[in-house]
Structure 1
């Protein structure tokens, strides 16, 4: 099976590692010529998950995206949502024709407040029947350590979901297909907002008791959002929803929680971003979801809490007191 992986970060590296457990040939596109040359020579990503060995017989790095897409069956998109448009600017819709696209992006396009799948449909005319998404709970750092992990592949096309689930399944990764692509994609966006908010409250001195209440309230907030935007029967206690929320809200590896914790301790947004040197999708997702949901009368205390702090420079302590009164 021939697969193109787009992105040079930790999640792209983890996905490449998982796929290499099977019988595949991977064209791995990344922006940096220096990083691509380093992988060719030393067989590891020097910037992310550097302990992961990249098999030279299965993986070939590329910096020309059109060449990386030529002759492949699947495309895995694994770049931060804010940079998707820039990453794909060199290609046209013809480069993605008849390919199956899997989004590993857990964010929204900031300029248009769109899910990645909707943006691809609008800008590259990719059919929703040819798209799917990867959902957790799964941190790249634990994939690198080969700790048992679980992934859900969601798609409106169950044959596609099953096929890619089979490609991702290996001795340390269990996979399952799911038809609820919109619910899973929005839940993945929302859980980053929740984790970021949990980080802020922790930085402000909130304890485990408060975080437990936040996470339980967050499930209610996520349900209100997905029920309004993509109504259907779904079990939000499944790992693709609740499991992904829990690992992102609680894990030491959660960049969104880390980012929020820095904000809660007094860092500016810019200072936190510079120190992390990684993208916290939740920062952009807060604005996207807040603006999108303004036309619905849906109570969203956690999203509003994060929005007021990150985009309105509101008082941390004041917004914390407001949030406390709105949770149950």
Structure 2
């Protein structure tokens, strides 16, 4: 296991938390960080200059790269943790042969907007990565709590459960428990949709709706997610498991949820552009809701919460009126 060459692709808070986890049980990792000045800071101060600055690293265990191609070349397993909107641009210099025989796990929880594909489908259709070499890292885990070593749980999904088990074994530690699943479509789409729901929850919070209504919103939301993932990939799954319901709950309720924060700003009267400029991090729900809305034109699933968020963000519908209309559709 110690000889497995793992690459972390990305330098945000979740990438930083995952790197911390991997280094608990591996002797070295490769880490792609785009900016040379960030790597220089890392080497000087042993922390990420931009995110989770309280996490200290033994940088002698890390091989830093500013070249994604070189990082990929020298790695066996790639873990993607960059915003979905930037993935296509980041991978633009890579070819199908660069990713040949690589095992790739996405921890992105977003849809690639340029292609309207979840990350697994993007890798499969654009770079011809076999589905058995693709996986998903998901579950109710905020990077901030992982950094604080608070007990957390992840689900590692792949149709090749042996690959998923390898990552699961590496990630498991005193404060992180992980389980294996073969539901790559359901876990990934659920991770995307929970960001949309969190935006809706934030909007309602910003408008002054209370905990009672948020509970109704979330209970309706898990039914909405189930309808959608069952339509996209109809297999037997327990929607109450932590990869689905747990991830939804933490994203809808937590103070660390950037999607909830983004929605709260919209509910308080910020424009979409103002809210984006105010935040230091990407709210994946902004991109996800448009993609899911377009994908659902094929499946025609009843998705009133998703539709309301889409109407507010992309159709400039009045926030109060849209949410008031939504309240009539929930039970």
Q: TM-score, normalised by structure 1?
A: 0.98
Unpaired runs of at least 5, structure 2? none
Question: What aligned pairs does 1:44-59 form with structure 2 within 5 A after superposition?
Answer: 44-59=47-62
1:323 pairs with 2:326: yes
1:278 pairs with 2:297: no
8 Å contact 1:39–1:61 — kept in the other structure? Answer: no
1:212–1:28: structure 2 CA closer, same or farther, 3 Å change rule? Answer: same
The equivalent residue for 1:24 is: 27
- Following TM superposition, where does structure 1 have runs of at least 4 consecutive aligned residues deviating by more than 4 angstroms? none
The equivalent residue for 2:110 is: 107
Cα distance in structure 1, aligned partners of 2:100 and 2:15? 22
* SS across alignment from 1:186: helix
Distance apart, 1:212 and its partner CA: 0.1
Question: What aligned pairs does 1:54-203 form with structure 2 within 5 A after superposition?
Answer: 54-203=57-206
Q: Please, which of 17, 42, 45 is the counterpart of residue 39 of structure 1?
A: 42
* SS across alignment from 1:57: helix
Cα distance in structure 1, aligned partners of 2:206 and 2:86? 28
Post-superposition CA distance 1:130-164 (Å, at most 9, x none): 11110011000001100001000001111111111
The equivalent residue for 2:305 is: 302
Cα distance in structure 2, aligned partners of 1:57 and 1:296? 50
Post-superposition CA distance 1:84-138 (Å, at most 9, x none): 0111112212221111111011000112210101101112111110111100110
* SS across alignment from 1:20: helix
RMSD between superposed Cα atoms in Å: 0.9
* SS across alignment from 2:121: helix
8 Å contact 1:43–1:53 — kept in the other structure? Answer: yes
Cα distance in structure 1, aligned partners of 2:28 and 2:102? 15
Distance apart, 1:43 and its partner CA: 1.0
The equivalent residue for 1:7 is: 10
Distance apart, 1:188 and its partner CA: 0.3
Cα distance in structure 2, aligned partners of 1:221 and 1:163? 32
- Count, aligned residues: 328
Distance apart, 1:295 and its partner CA: 2.5
Question: What aligned pairs does 1:253-268 form with structure 2 within 5 A after superposition?
Answer: 253-268=256-271
Cα distance in structure 2, aligned partners of 1:24 and 1:104? 21
Unpaired runs of at least 5, structure 1? none
Cα distance in structure 1, aligned partners of 2:209 and 2:26? 48
Which shifted more, 60-69 or 202-211?
60-69
* SS across alignment from 2:236: coil
